[in-house]
Homo-oligomer: A and B are copies of this chain.
């Protein structure tokens, strides 16, 4: 039986998971692939801390580059994360003619062109299934199962920390800060939670999905990224009363006017499958020209779910190597072609807006007029019960499809006009 050697570079949470799966389910992998896929090297600066998985001490080493060039290694699994050393490891592996598996969304979103270009030049496989959605095979499905489809739209809940916070805010009526603190205590959120709650982790994943779907490499700073930091419990409650849940959604879509990619808290109709995704789970709803709507749901992070997807990639590459083949298909393009991206300010969505309207004659007319002046039509307006500042009443407005810039300008003007007691907020609505 052909032996395929795997080097894990970065022996952290996911690395230990990969080591455990390759060990514990080795026979299963043999039965299913016909190959002896085995750990050849594990490289980490720290090779003494117990990771809760039993590995042969002889394969542990501290020199990643020595591990990469070891002749027993066929596949290099980069699980360091970040850009600096991870990028060097991957490029060194490619240069050594070794196939690469990575789960590094930040690196792919920011340096994808360089890495995929180098891999194509050198003729080696690079797989990155676990970079989006952890244990959910969304990358595989887009590359393979839906290969005959043009992607119309993807809406994804791609960050478990945010979805956990939003679920608890909704189910328990708790304020954002309390749930965040609790999530940090429980280990669901980092001490510095910015990457998650400010939307950048989701944005990295959105850019990878956009690249796979539309062959464009879009710079992070050209897309709208809004996180959930400071989300007001009133909006969660009012959205619920209107039949919506607020989710941090990545939206990747191609419409008549171009490609849209953005990340923002979004009102999802409760009848949409995405509204049923609770807690740390992730999901992506993919709408295609042929398969129509499909949805993929699972754990978006965690040791074994992420490692499961990494091992799926390892098995694929192992079979490619056994066949003497590179199956380097539909990767992120070498040269970015993002000209089709619709600028954030020009995107059109229906909005939910909440205004704390000062209760005096003419207030309602005034803000309605300002919205109209900016091309924002009002589909519905409702006065809500609430504990706004004295003399102010909460009014929720559902707009027709409106330009992003129009809504922002109108809300700024409404604030300046002195008809509201606090800054208005606005969130996009997912059409069902």
| Residues of A that sit less than 8 Å from B by CB | 17, 21-22, 25, 28-29, 31-34, 129, 135-137, 140-141, 143-150, 215, 271, 273, 276-278, 281, 283, 288-299, 302, 304-305, 307-309, 311-312, 314-316, 319, 323-325, 327, 329-330
Contacts and interface: CB of A to CB of B under 8 A. Distances in A.
Residue among A17, A311, A314 with the most chain B CB within 10 A? A311
A145 B304 contact: no
B296 A295 contact: yes
Contact of A135 (B22, B147, B292): B292
A310 to B, nearest CB: 8
Task: Give the number of copies in the complex.
Answer: 2
A29 B148 contact: yes
Given A28-B149, A291-B305, 15 more contacts: A29-B147, A33-B329, A135-B291, A140-B145, A144-B315, A276-B276, A290-B305, A293-B299, A294-B296, A294-B297, A294-B299, A295-B295, A295-B296, A319-B329, A323-B325
A231 to B, nearest CB: 23
Given A325-B325, A327-B319, A148 B276 contact: no
A145 B297 contact: no
Contacts of A293: 281, 297-299
Contacts of A296: 294-297
B311 A147 contact: yes
Given A295-B295, A298-B292, A148 B315 contact: yes
A145 B366 CA distance: 56
Contacts of A325: 323, 325
Contacts of A22: 148
Given A29-B148, A34-B329, A307 B290 contact: yes
A22 to B, nearest CB: 8
